[in-house]
A and B are shown apart, each in its own frame.
Chain A
Amino acid sequence: MPNSVGKRFKPTKYIPVSTAATLLVGSTTLFFVFTCPWLTKAISPAVLLYNGIVFLFVLANFSMATFMDPGVFPRADEDEDKDDDFRAPLYKNVEIKGIQVRMKWCATCHFYRPPRCSHCSVCDNCVEEFDHHCPWVNNCIGRRNYRYFFLFLLSLSVHMVGVFSFGLLFVLHHLETLSALHTTVTLVVMCVTGLFFIPVMGLTGFHMVLVTRGRTTNEQVTGKFRGGVNPFTRGCCGNVKHVLCSPLAARYITDPRKKLPITLNPPFLRPDLSYRHVRVKVSDNGIHSSILQSKSKTSLDGVDDKSVDTQPPLPPKADRYNQLKSQLTSSEGNSLSGKPTSPSTPAMYKYRPYFGTMPKVHYHVTGEKIVMSENGKPSAVLEERGHDYRSEPNLDMPDYRSAPLHRTYQSSPFQLDSFSTTSRLFSLKQAVNGADQMPLGVSKPETVTSTPHKGVFSPGMLSGRNSSLSYDSLLTHSVTPSVGECAAHPGVPSMGFHSPYLPTKMCHVRGPELQRHIGPPSYSPVHVGVMYGRQSPLSRDRDPSPVRYDNLSKTIMASIQERKELEEREKLMHRHAQAYANDSGVFDTCSGAAYGLPRGTGSREPTPPVCGSRDNLMGVGVVGYAPRTPVLHSSASSLSRAPRTSTTSLHTDAGGVSRTAERQYRSPVRQTHHSPTAVPRSPTYTHQKVTFISALERADSPHLGTREDLCQGKVNGQLKGQARDCHLGTPSGTPSRHANVKKVTGVGGTTYEISV
């Protein structure tokens, strides 16, 4: 039998369908030839017609059940499954009509199987609304062809009943000539029919019950809804209607259609300001953002001392804010990220002399759509806001308020709202309450007040304003966890602080409170937090800021700690990259000392890695899989990085160490648990381990059912599984990823790409 690269040709799988077809067609043909002529004569031609139609119906449904695509899902693109990586659980819960249904990850098809979908091992495909794989038609029965299968069963039952009955009638009329050919053949046909009567009728009855209950064979046999409620049922009538009358669905596996190419012409439009966005236009005397940027740097010096003295917690927070702010702007496509994130001072202090007019802040608030001009100014503005943040407590600089700046920028709705809010508040404050702790001596508040404002500014904000700005408020302000990284600056002052350039951070952190004050919440801190959280990987590239953790919440501290560890780890990795040409040396210095493990010299063989440049993390995936250990040992041996060799050390311990390592860095999203081991760990290598912990943890989950389990035992899948364990993206079987980019998984669950 010929063996092709793809599917092997197995003639044995065609035996049942051939038998069924032969029996069906053969028996019916014999019936028509030997029995029907007499019946037509003796009874009526209608017998022939009836049998003919029924047989035709049987054949048609049989053909449809055999040749129709049951609803095969095409394999998922790589880009799609990279989100659902190793750390994702094997099951994903989804609520269907109030009932929790599990969606299982399909390792072959690389997606979470939709509800009622199952993977057919015979066809090696995920099939929608999978019923069963029928050997008699040599096809899966799924959403698209279940009706035809059911009708085939029904019609076959009817046909068999008809053939048996008419045959019996014939035989009863020809009892005296039982040895005659016609009678013999009729008897044989009757026997065949009678023989298959029980199984076919039994199956038909079974499927009739399934149809009325709205279940698939798979669900019935696996007992999914035993004693429970079937969320997919539509009632008896509805279920029958759905099976018999629903329109024929389209195939998913189609030929690629020739599509008209769509031209993408950058620069791309950015969205008009929606209700979530507020455009703040600060008019100045023509001096633009560049000045702001330069000023922001120079202004740091003079005010630094002052701000440091009076507001010790500020510098770290502002700094962190700058990082986040830079992330934000970079995410918006601006080049702000280049700005230094050293503790900054309000640029306002230096801005003042340059601008003689009051900044005219125009607030186009929620609900108004304004086309925003795409320019680089937002970066400057944001930067300035960062500085403003630092200037929070030092509001004895009234002049800076009078710096008119024409700046149009769009930031998150959160930012702008707060910006406009604070500006507005500032002006209002000037008008209303001059005795506030915020000596914002604006000389021309009317420019601000005259601008239209809706929604963002409400009297409630004024009341919020009136709370005093002090370090207590800065220090003790509780940060919502949802703000994510924004929470690094917990001490956001109340709305009493009125800088026209209220830092985004403050606004974000103040989100929950602001929303209480402001009528229509025009922004959500969660959103911003999410945005910031998303940008956390970018913060790695920033200079380490002297963040102080005095008053940061535990969550923030943990995330900051993780980031620091990641940064240190990466530094180590880069340093080790050049230093280590020989794994053994690395192993000695790094892993052995760290773990005190006996170094098995024979544990590493100098064989080429299994998967190209991704072998560094390959070894990690081995830990959890004993069968693969020898294979990956070879790959691990050629690793040239400290972390890898240290992983190898874990490797030699047959995964025992990995357990400990994993536990220390268990990410909250991981569902793995680890057996305790007593391997001592050097704290210095914990950072290195961070990368591999995630992979190790993933590897260490055979009994918990993470997705790597599914890769065991498969030749191709083994490589794939390894690659997945290491979160490398593509194994040798999928060469679309760049070979010189390594993905490293951090503890926090983020993935970093490091160029190798």
Chain B
Amino acid sequence: MATEFHNLQELHHSASLATKVFIQRDYRDGTICKFQTKFPTELDSRIEKSLFEETLKTLNCYYAETEKIGGQSYLEGCLACATAYIIFLCMETPYEKILKKISMYIQEHNEKIYAPRGLLLTDPIERGMRVIEISIFEDSGSTSSSGSSPSSSTAQ
């Protein structure tokens, strides 16, 4: 994230990081990976609620898929045992495959939807799957004194 942030700063000087919003995990159903879909108020003026919720729902679906115990996970386990776990050195686990998909999804959405709105989503895996970090950028060319004070950045 830090690397990404610096890239952004270098690329375009007129966009400055104003604040960050953190979408926390939703633990109501246990320790499964699921993020709260509550729309943060800080994004109210930055992005449509429907777009945001759609992104979150898709992410939650992806994460649910990673933790699904089914045929594929049985196969993975048996194969790993049979090969004395050497298979992990050669192949990518299904979990990692879905994580790559998620990463591409986030990258794509950042480019198409969030960056034009001055927002950037950070892949939660970089934060230990604890939060989805949304960086809110402001056009430093404008005279707005937007909510860049730390007090205004509330996760929810």
Contacts and interface: CB of A to CB of B under 8 A. Distances in A.
Given A60-B85, A83-B22, A335-B143, A248 B93 contact: yes
B117 A268 contact: yes
B151 A77 contact: no
Contacts of A274: 48-50
B55 interface: no
Contact of A241 (B4, B69, B72, B140): B69
Given A261-B8, A266-B14, A534-B147, A101 B27 contact: yes
A59 B86 CA distance: 12
B7 A261 contact: yes
Interface residues of B, number: 81
B28 A97 contact: yes
A333 interface: yes
Interface string B34-68: 00000001101111111000000000000000111
A377 to B, nearest CB: 15
Nearest to B17: A79
Interface in B1-44: 1-4, 7-8, 11-12, 14-15, 20, 22, 25, 27-31, 41-42, 44
Contact of B128 (A74, A272, A750): A74
Contacts of B49: 274, 276
A259 B104 CA distance: 10
A394 interface: no
A83 B127 CA distance: 15
A156 to B, nearest CB: 15
B69 A246 contact: yes
A265 B150 contact: no
A174 to B, nearest CB: 33
Contact of A232 (B31, B66, B96, B127): B31
A244 B77 contact: yes
B107 A259 contact: yes
B118 A266 contact: yes
B154 A534 contact: yes
Contacts of A309: none
Nearest to A59: B84
Nearest to A238: B69
B30 to A, nearest CB: 6
Interface in B78-135: 80-81, 84-85, 88, 93-96, 99, 103, 107, 110-111, 115-118, 120, 125-131, 133
B77 A263 contact: no
A753 B145 CA distance: 13
Contacts of A332: 45, 144
A276 B41 CA distance: 13
A248 B95 contact: yes
A247 B155 contact: no
A531 interface: yes
B67 A535 contact: no
Contacts of B46: 268, 270-271
A550 interface: no
Contact of B117 (A64, A252, A269): A269
A534 B152 contact: yes
A2 interface: no
Contact of A537 (B48, B142, B149): B149
Tell me the interface secondary structure of chain A in the complex: loop
A164 interface: no
A268 B151 contact: no
Contact of B73 (A151, A245, A266): A245
B146 to A, nearest CB: 6
Nearest to A74: B128
B139 A266 contact: yes
A268 B139 contact: yes
The residue in A148, A261, A530 that gathers the most chain B C-beta atoms within 10 A of its C-beta is A261
Interface stretch (A108-116, A495-503, A690-698): A108-116
A231 interface: yes
B8 A264 contact: yes
B141 to A, nearest CB: 6
Contacts of A97: 28-30
A248 B12 CA distance: 40
A95 B84 contact: no
B94 A247 contact: yes
Contacts of B84: 56-57, 59-60
Nearest to B78: A245
Given A245-B74, A271-B45, A331-B45, A262 B130 contact: no
A751 interface: yes
B50 to A, nearest CB: 7
A260 interface: yes
Contacts of A254: 125-126
B137 A115 contact: no
Nearest to A265: B12
Contacts of B95: 247-250
A46 B152 CA distance: 70
A690 B73 CA distance: 57
A76 interface: yes
A129 interface: yes
B85 A750 contact: no
Nearest to A534: B152
Contacts of A751: 149-151
A480 interface: no
Nearest to A233: B30
A57 B99 CA distance: 29
A431 B127 CA distance: 60
A248 B88 contact: yes
A477 interface: no
Nearest to B144: A333
Nearest to B20: A79
Nearest to B14: A266
B77 to A, nearest CB: 5
B8 A531 contact: no
Interface string A391-420: 000000000000000000000100000000
6 contacts: A148-B85, A247-B68, A261-B8, A264-B11, A265-B115, A271-B48
Given A264-B115, A333-B142, A751-B151, 15 more contacts: A73-B130, A83-B22, A242-B69, A247-B95, A248-B93, A249-B66, A250-B125, A254-B126, A262-B4, A270-B45, A271-B117, A330-B146, A333-B138, A534-B151, A752-B151
Interface of B: 1-4, 7-8, 11-12, 14-15, 20, 22, 25, 27-31, 41-42, 44-50, 66-69, 72-74, 76-77, 80-81, 84-85, 88, 93-96, 99, 103, 107, 110-111, 115-118, 120, 125-131, 133, 137-147, 149-155
